[in-house]
Amino acid sequence: MAEAESIIGRPDIPESEGHEGAEPERGEGAGPADGQSMDPTATEDGDGEAVVDRSAATRRRRIILLFCVAVLAYLLDLGSKMLVVAKLEHQEPVEIFGSWLRLDAIRNAGAAFGIGEAFTIIFTIIAATVIVVIARLARKLYSLPWAIALGLLLGGALGNLTDRIFRAPGTFQGAVVDFIAPAHFAVFNLADSSIVCGGILIVILSFKGLDPDGTVHKD
């Protein structure tokens, strides 16, 4: 047997082979092992692929996006309400698509779509609470879709909260300006639309198993 090996040569066998549980040596500069991510801070899916970048720069970008979306939604709502109060309040409704869609300025002391007019101050507290919760979530925000959804919620909540604080009949009891009046539906404003869109997006993201920190749950 020894003579045969000396003639045909002996195959190269790693020193670790034959020892159960041993791993082959990896040279300097080699890539990550199977199922491992190059970024130790990144989460992985079932195939071992990174699904989110958890760097501080990514979090800053998501927070900036959140506040950009919020500011845009807030300014659109505030500008539209100022225009409606100046041009449409105490005037006849303006028809956009016949009787199917009109602009009709009203004051709403309740929640979105005129719900609960007797609890104005409660809805004011709820809006303020939503803003605080969003600010806390922003500290661990790495998901782009969640940044957009939370931005829509924040902008809408700030828009209606501004009315609650600064409009008649008084601080924290102010009536919200509504003006979009579809046929057979409640009158609402752009802040309401922003809140609803943000809420729908959050429900979709939750069903998909995506958390604000970018973690994906595959149940």
Residue 56 · residue 64 · CB < 8 Å: no
The verdict on whether 192 is a catalytic residue reads yes
**Residue tagged active-site, from 34, 192, 213, 219:** 192
Nearest partner of 82 among 174, 218, 179, 4, judged by Cα: 179
Task: Report residue 187: phi and psi, to 5°.
Answer: -80, 140
The verdict on whether 178 is a catalytic residue reads yes
Question: In what helix (H) or strand (E) does residue 181 lie, and over which residues does it extend?
Answer: strand 176-182
How far is the C-alpha of 136 from the C-alpha of 133, rounded, in Å?
5
**Residue tagged active-site, from 12, 77, 178, 211:** 178
Residue 142 · residue 212 · CB < 8 Å: yes
Q: What type of residue sits at position 198?
A: G
Q: Which two tokens stand for residue 38?
A: 């190059």
Q: Which residues are catalytic?
A: 178, 192
